[in-house]
Amino acid sequence: MRTMFYLKRIIGYILGFVLFYEPFMYFYEFVSQFVFEMGFTSIHVPCARIPLTQILTGDILNAGPISLIFVGLLIVSSFIFGPVFCGKLCPTGALPELLGNIIPNQFKVDVAKYIPPTPIRYGFTAGFLFSTYLGIETPCTFCNYYTLELFVEYIFFGKLVQTSLSLLLTFVLWLFVLGIFTKGGRGYCNYLCPVGAMNNFMHYLGTFIPGTFKMRVNENKCVGCRVCEDRCPMRSIKVDDHLAQINIHNCIICGVCKEYCPAKAISYSNKESKSE
Q: Residue 215: is it exposed, middle or buried by C-beta count within 10 angstroms (0-12/13-18/19+)? A: buried
Q: What is the pLDDT of residues 180-227, one digit of tens each?
A: 999 999 999 999 999 999 999 999 999 999 999 999 999 999 999 999
Contact 217, 264 (CB under 8 A): no
* The dihedral sign for the CA sequence 4, 6, 10, 15: positive
- Please give the pLDDT value at position 181: 97
Q: What is the pLDDT, as a whole number, of residue 272?
A: 75
Contacts of 238-245 spanning 24+ positions with Cβ under 8 A: 243/217, 243/219, 244/217, 245/217
108 has a pLDDT exceeding 60: yes
3-class SS at 101? helix
Round the CA-based radius of gyration of the chain to a whole number and report it: 19
Nearest alpha carbon to residue 235 among 100, 90, 79: 100
pLDDT grade, residue 231 (50/70/90)?
Answer: very high
**pLDDT of 28 above 90:** no
Q: What is the pLDDT of residue 160?
A: 62
Q: pTM here?
A: 0.91
pLDDT in tens, 59-90: 777 778 888 899 999 999 999 999 999 999 99
- The mean pLDDT of 22-51, rounded to a whole number, is 76
Give the chain's length.
276
| DSSP string of 200-257, one letter each residue | HHHHHHHTTSTT--EEEE-TTT-----HHHHH-TT--EEEETTEEEE-TTT-----HH
DSSP count for the chain of H helices, then E strands: 14, 4
Q: To the nearest whole percent, how much of the chain has pLDDT over 90?
A: 63
Mean pLDDT, to the nearest integer, of 96-114? 95
pLDDT of residue 273: 62
Calculate the average pLDDT of the chain: 89
Residue 151 one-letter amino acid: F
Q: Give mean pLDDT, residues 135-158.
A: 76
